[in-house]
A and B are shown apart, each in its own frame.
Chain A
Amino acid sequence: MAVQMNKDQDGLAKRALPKGAAWADEARLSAKARVEVTGLPTKRDEYWRYTDPKLLTSTEAPYAAILETDETPHFDQLDRLKVVFVDGVFDAAQSDDLSAQGVVIERLSDVAALDIHWAKDLYGTLETAGQSPVARPLAALNTAYANDGLVIHATGNAAKPIHLIYLHQDETSDAMLHHVIKVDPGAALTILESGPAAARFSKVIEVDVAQEGQFNHVQVQGRDHERRAVTHCFARISRESAFKSFTLTFNGVITRNECVIEILGDDASAHVAGACVGDGRDFHHDDTVFITHDAVNCESRQVFKKVLRNGATGVFQGKILVKKDAQKTDGYQISQSLLLDDDSQFLAKPELEIYADDVACSHGSTSGAIDETALFYLRSRGVPHKEASNLLTLAFLAEALEEIADSDIAQELQDRLEGWLGRRNA
């Protein structure tokens, strides 16, 4: 299972690709060729200027201690269909039966062996499209070597959310998963993801949302301190469709989340949001987002908030590209950090590139400390310093959490954040 990602790529050429049907072999070979052309990322690459990819590309076996916790598992109160992966390997015994109304769920390893399957038109296709104008070699590497994942087809209103649970049990696991998702016209699907997944985790999701389809995604990454993760979400959305994705990240020595969305149909909307909390010099979190508007009257939002303390680092690279004919585009982008001390840092690169002339796009980025005036106001009302500081920290994150459509999920994530802050300030 473990795939070593060698910087000089000597190992890469020798490594065996998973075997499948002709279309799958072809997709994997072509992905491997893409990596060979670009090479794996290094800190010298402009796109990796603020995040050193070394921990993601190193050949040495990563080690990540497993966090012992007796907390309630994520989304435990929700009626959902559970699919469990342990260190990147599907676990049938712990998973629910994969059949549900309005949705067909299959395993990539099964699908890749079939000569005829709709996934052949999508697997690696959106990832390939997302390689331009910026190369994303780690995503191509995933397309080439991932052997497991889910292939999900929403044919109607999926009866319940599908919850992908990523358990981490092996301290040196090096896991790759690749999910392919198709949302039919007018269909609706919610995907939830949670867990540390592995010592090192690479994940790609390719999502194709047809007209009037709705795709809703919430993922929680954490809380193992030494885990490393690189995730890519490639989405292509059509007329009057809605794409919504929210990521909450706790801890981790490196997390790079890339989200690449192409809006191809009129009157569609794409929202990507995230909140992260990090404590310590070895916390590094990077949100890299690229949204392309290529249709009329579409809306996109990017809302990212990071709470950083004790020397933690946060990165945001966000771009809105509005093509020539994408008139009436409404694009919004905000990235903010709350720095709880002088050692922490936030590096932001907000970008707008607009070729249409009738658009409304705005972007903003801020870094700041806790508002002392508000802190005193709370304390003067009897709220102790730590509690007041936590309340203001949650208030800072609120705008991002508001992006979550489901209020029960939003409440749960808020409670988890409160727990995290409480543990820090105990």
Chain B
Amino acid sequence: MLEIKNLSVKLEEEDKQILKGVNLSINAGEVHAIMGPNGSGKSTLSYVLSGKDGYSVTDGSASLEGTDLLDLEPEERAALGLFLAFQYPVEIPGVGNMTFLRTAVNAQRKQRDEPEMSAADFLKEVRARAKDLKIDADMLKRPVNVGFSGGEKKRNEILQMAMLAPKMCVLDETDSGLDVDAMKLVSDGVNALRSEGRSFLVITHYQRLLDHIKPDVVHIMADGRIVKSGGPELALEVEHNGYADILAEVA
């Protein structure tokens, strides 16, 4: 599904190398988690994959189902099936949440030469999905993320994910700012979307999210590289001992 080879990236403005040769291969249906200390490059990886400005790729490649992602516009990557759940979902005053969702769904369909979703079908689908995530009619009507609590914003990200039905979902610290109940709700939403044809890359600081969203593979990232990969037990090791042991081990 997602194939990242020797990906090296620097910040355009500061000429600072952030990613120093990331290798990662995620098969269809798999859930991978990336953990790592602050500043290790986890969020940068998610931004570079989704096409945010301000980064320049100095080496390596990233492809989704064999299509090179790095030369594509963000909207083209999305239409191919890449989705990034933002760590800090953006507030957009003046744009209704429903309008936003429908515009996104149909913009992707248009790019894929698929027929647009009818207003009635869209409404039916969005209501069903929203209900599962305990998103009420008021939240759907309000401007995108404006005045939403931290938990509401993250649930809204998962709603978008559900409506857009991507193939490759990247979740950037989706657990940050969530209380225990909200984390359960968001995790349930993610788990409901797990399927054979859909893969996940879950970026997190904490093992507790991985109690809910059980990964197949856990990677530890440090200083712009993936330094260790293993099974779910690797996350537990981090939880108990911190990163110091692992980093010392690989140094």
Task: Give the B-binding residues of A (Cβ under 8 A).
Answer: 371-374, 376-385, 387-388, 391-392, 394-399
| CB interface residues, B 86-132, toward A, < 8 Å | 86, 89-95, 99-100, 103-105, 107-108, 111
**Nearest A-chain residue to B95, judged by Cβ:** A395
In the bound complex, do residue B107 and residue A395 qualify as a contact, i.e. CB atoms below 8 Å apart?
no
- List 7 tightest A-B contacts by C-beta distance, closest first: A395-B94, A382-B78, A382-B108, A398-B94, A381-B104, A379-B74, A377-B90
In the bound complex, do residue B107 and residue A394 qualify as a contact, i.e. CB atoms below 8 Å apart?
no
Alpha-carbon separation in the docked complex, A368 to B179 (Å): 36
Starting from the known contacts A381-B107, A384-B73, 20 additional A-B residue pairs (CB-CB under 8 Å) come to A374-B91, A377-B86, A377-B92, A379-B73, A379-B78, A380-B77, A380-B84, A380-B86, A381-B78, A381-B160, A382-B79, A382-B104, A382-B107, A382-B111, A383-B107, A384-B107, A392-B95, A394-B94, A398-B93, A398-B94
> Does B51 sit at the interface, judged by CB under 8 A?
yes
The smallest C-beta distance from A378 to any residue of chain B, in angstroms, reads 7
In the bound complex, do residue B107 and residue A380 qualify as a contact, i.e. CB atoms below 8 Å apart?
no
Among B78, B91, B111, B143, point to the contact of A380 (Cβ < 8 A): B78
Among A371, A382, A392, A398, point to the contact of B75 (Cβ < 8 A): A382
In the bound complex, do residue A383 and residue B103 qualify as a contact, i.e. CB atoms below 8 Å apart?
yes
In the bound complex, do residue A380 and residue B94 qualify as a contact, i.e. CB atoms below 8 Å apart?
no
Question: What are the residues of chain B within 8 A of A399 when measuring CB–CB?
Answer: 94
The smallest C-beta distance from B26 to any residue of chain A, in angstroms, reads 19
Question: What are the residues of chain A within 8 A of B53 when measuring CB–CB?
Answer: 372, 376
Alpha-carbon separation in the docked complex, A32 to B105 (Å): 62
> Does B1 sit at the interface, judged by CB under 8 A?
no
A-B contact pairs, 20 of them (CB 8 A): A371-B92, A374-B92, A377-B90, A380-B51, A380-B77, A380-B78, A380-B83, A380-B84, A381-B107, A382-B78, A382-B105, A384-B107, A388-B75, A391-B99, A392-B92, A392-B95, A394-B94, A394-B95, A395-B94, A398-B94
Task: Give the A-binding residues of B (Cβ under 8 A).
Answer: 50-53, 73-75, 77-79, 83-84, 86, 89-95, 99-100, 103-105, 107-108, 111, 143, 160, 164
Q: Interface SS of chain A: helix, strand, loop or mixed?
A: helix
**Nearest B-chain residue to A391, judged by Cβ:** B95
Question: What are the residues of chain A within 8 A of B51 when measuring CB–CB?
Answer: 379-380
**Nearest B-chain residue to A395, judged by Cβ:** B94
In the bound complex, do residue B104 and residue A378 qualify as a contact, i.e. CB atoms below 8 Å apart?
yes
The smallest C-beta distance from A196 to any residue of chain B, in angstroms, reads 28
In the bound complex, do residue A395 and residue B92 qualify as a contact, i.e. CB atoms below 8 Å apart?
yes
Question: What are the residues of chain B within 8 A of A397 when measuring CB–CB?
Answer: 94
The smallest C-beta distance from B113 to any residue of chain A, in angstroms, reads 14
Alpha-carbon separation in the docked complex, A77 to B77 (Å): 41
Interchain pairs with CB closer than 8 A, number: 81
Among A373, A379, A384, A396, point to the contact of B94 (Cβ < 8 A): A396
Among A373, A383, A385, point to the contact of B90 (Cβ < 8 A): A373
Q: A373-B90, A387-B103 are in contact. Are A379 and B75 (CB under 8 A)?
A: yes
In the bound complex, do residue A387 and residue B94 qualify as a contact, i.e. CB atoms below 8 Å apart?
no
**Nearest A-chain residue to B104, judged by Cβ:** A381
**Nearest B-chain residue to A381, judged by Cβ:** B104
The smallest C-beta distance from A409 to any residue of chain B, in angstroms, reads 18
Question: What are the residues of chain B within 8 A of A378 when measuring CB–CB?
Answer: 92, 100, 103-104
Name the residue in A384, A391, A397, A398 with the highest tally of chain B Cβ atoms < 10 Å from its Cβ. Answer: A384
Question: What are the residues of chain B within 8 A of A396 when measuring CB–CB?
Answer: 94
In the bound complex, do residue B75 and residue A384 qualify as a contact, i.e. CB atoms below 8 Å apart?
yes
In the bound complex, do residue A385 and residue B73 qualify as a contact, i.e. CB atoms below 8 Å apart?
yes
In the bound complex, do residue B104 and residue A395 qualify as a contact, i.e. CB atoms below 8 Å apart?
no
Alpha-carbon separation in the docked complex, A399 to B143 (Å): 12
**Nearest A-chain residue to B109, judged by Cβ:** A382
Alpha-carbon separation in the docked complex, A391 to B144 (Å): 12
**Nearest A-chain residue to B161, judged by Cβ:** A381
Name the residue in A374, A381, A387 with the highest tally of chain B Cβ atoms < 10 Å from its Cβ. Answer: A381
Question: What are the residues of chain B within 8 A of A387 when measuring CB–CB?
Answer: 103, 107
In the bound complex, do residue B94 and residue A376 qualify as a contact, i.e. CB atoms below 8 Å apart?
no
**Nearest B-chain residue to A373, judged by Cβ:** B90
In the bound complex, do residue B74 and residue A380 qualify as a contact, i.e. CB atoms below 8 Å apart?
yes
Question: What are the residues of chain A within 8 A of B104 when measuring CB–CB?
Answer: 378, 381-383
**Nearest A-chain residue to B103, judged by Cβ:** A383
Alpha-carbon separation in the docked complex, A398 to B92 (Å): 12
The smallest C-beta distance from B61 to any residue of chain A, in angstroms, reads 20
Question: What are the residues of chain B within 8 A of A383 when measuring CB–CB?
Answer: 75, 103-104, 107
